[in-house]
Structure 1
Amino acid sequence: MFATSSDGTSTPSLNTEREMRASPKKQQSFDRLRARVEFPAVVETNRAYLHAAVPAAGETEMTGWALSCLPSTGRGRFSTLNMQRMEVLYLSSGVKAGISGAVGGFVVVRRSILHRYVGQGRSVEEVFPGLKFNSERRYETAGDDHIQVSGRHDQLIAALKDENFAAAARDFAAFLLTGTTNLSRHHNYQLADEVLGRKPAIS
């Protein structure tokens, strides 16, 4: 259930947040992830993405973006950050993702902005060695100007700290945040608390 503010935007109602926080299934998922050695990497990578791509991320939580915890969509998946109907940041076991390292995944960013590196005489592969760039993957809600970038979590974090890569992530996120995610039911407030570095506002 969502409440409508004076400016016409929808925000999660207090009951929705309280009920979701009280969900035994969501708490158990968070506890299971927190007990894993990969937990800090999952938190740090999601935090790096939101810091780079989503200004004032707490204001669009559950409406513009949702963060799942140990989603049932695939074994070995740790978290998925969704906007509208698409996955913009996916993290899983490195083995599951076909990437060496404990945690691997992908992020989706604006291709045209990222490829400005080519005009500087360098390819994106040269700027970000170790990352893989896939422009063949298409998302129905994303248009044509996007690219999937995959790699180890530390490589993704380093890229998101780069000003130009962050701009590509931010521009694409801004486009998606003009709509509402239809995957808010999968949001895990406990994991979001860790990522956003906050204490729960309600119990």
Structure 2
Amino acid sequence: MFPSATQENYLKLGEQHDLDVVTGIARSYVDAAIAHPKATVRRGWSISCLPSTGRGARLFTVNVGAVEGAYMWTIPDDADFDGYLITVYVDRSTLEAQTGHSLSTLEQKYADDVYFEKAGHRKFKGRAISLTTEVFGRSIEFPEGLPWQPAAAALAEQLMAESDCVYSQYHNRWLAEDVMEWAKRGSQETQSEYLPTAKTS
């Protein structure tokens, strides 16, 4: 069993971080992007716990189909502030249609709050971008006027239609159960506050 799939990593997550915040952020993405999370867990999507992937230390990665859909991570040591970041992948055309603005306009408009990046993995087929912002509560909060949820859902639907989850061997069932339990409680328990943050790279 991979470390990210173990109960040990789940317990370590709770020891090192605020589990309610981490679970709330994961639930926020799953609720927005995955149409039937309980019916499709492991087959369509999975969640890994403290995966050893990428720059900074990841707390979780939600994988959708053949790629990642979102991940929460600690701000790298060379940044000029501390805390957590959340990165979400969305469908570019849906985001542009929802906002009525081109990607370049959105990048300029929200440059102080959100880091935009074109998704490079070939499975994204040039249709996706990632949005990264700082975490200040138990749900994902992008600036008002940037409706990430429909764009995340559109991308996730496409990815799950194209491929089963290829990262299910990294799935952490303990963390997933927490996410599913939070999903039952409803969004009224989510407490979050959006504050501006510096652009990260």
Calculate the TM-score normalised by the size of structure 1: 0.74
Aligned to 2:128: 146
Q: CA deviation at 1:37?
A: 3.0
Residues 169-203 of structure 1 deviation map (CA, whole Å, 9 limit, x = unaligned): 100000011120111010001001111117xxxxx
Q: CA 1:33–1:140 in 2, change beyond 3 Å: closer, same or farther? A: same
Q: CA 1:72–1:95 in 2, change beyond 3 Å: closer, same or farther? A: closer
Secondary structure at 1:89 match in 2: strand
Of residues 157, 160, 164 in structure 2, which corresponds to 1:180? Answer: 164
Contact conserved, 1:52 with 1:160, CA < 8 A, in 2? no
Of residues 58, 69, 73 in structure 1, which corresponds to 2:53? Answer: 73
Work out the number of aligned pairs and report it. Answer: 175
The two structures, once aligned, show a CA RMSD in angstroms of 3.1
The answer to whether 1:171 aligns with 2:151 is no
Whole-Å separation in 1 of the counterparts to 2:111 and 2:70? 18
Aligned to 2:190: none
Secondary structure at 2:165 match in 1: coil
Secondary structure at 1:35 match in 2: helix
Using CA pairs under 8 Å that are at least 6 residues apart, name the structure with larger relative contact order, 1 or 2.
2
The answer to whether 1:64 aligns with 2:48 is no
Q: CA deviation at 1:99?
A: 7.9
Residues 138-191 of structure 1 deviation map (CA, whole Å, 9 limit, x = unaligned): 111111111111121249712399783211010000001112011101000100
- Residue type of the partner of 2:154? D
Q: CA deviation at 1:42?
A: 1.7
Aligned to 1:3: none
The answer to whether 1:90 aligns with 2:71 is yes
Q: CA 1:100–1:151 in 2, change beyond 3 Å: closer, same or farther? A: farther
Q: CA deviation at 1:72?
A: 2.6
Equivalent residue runs for 1:127-138 within 5 Å: 129-135=112-118, 137-138=119-120
Q: CA deviation at 1:103?
A: 1.2
Equivalent residue runs for 1:179-198 within 5 Å: 179-197=163-181
Whole-Å separation in 2 of the counterparts to 1:99 and 1:197? 35
Calculate the TM-score normalised by the size of structure 2: 0.75
Unaligned runs of 5+ in 1: 1-19, 199-203
Residues 100-137 of structure 1 deviation map (CA, whole Å, 9 limit, x = unaligned): 442113110001111232449x94343685111112x3
Residues 43-85 of structure 1 deviation map (CA, whole Å, 9 limit, x = unaligned): 1111100111112211110001110001133562211111223
**Which runs of structure 1 show a deviation greater than 6 angstroms over 4 or more consecutive aligned residues?**
160-163
Percent identity of paired positions between Structure 1 and Structure 2: 24
Rg: which structure is higher?
1
Whole-Å separation in 2 of the counterparts to 1:161 and 1:80? 25
Unaligned runs of 5+ in 2: 183-201
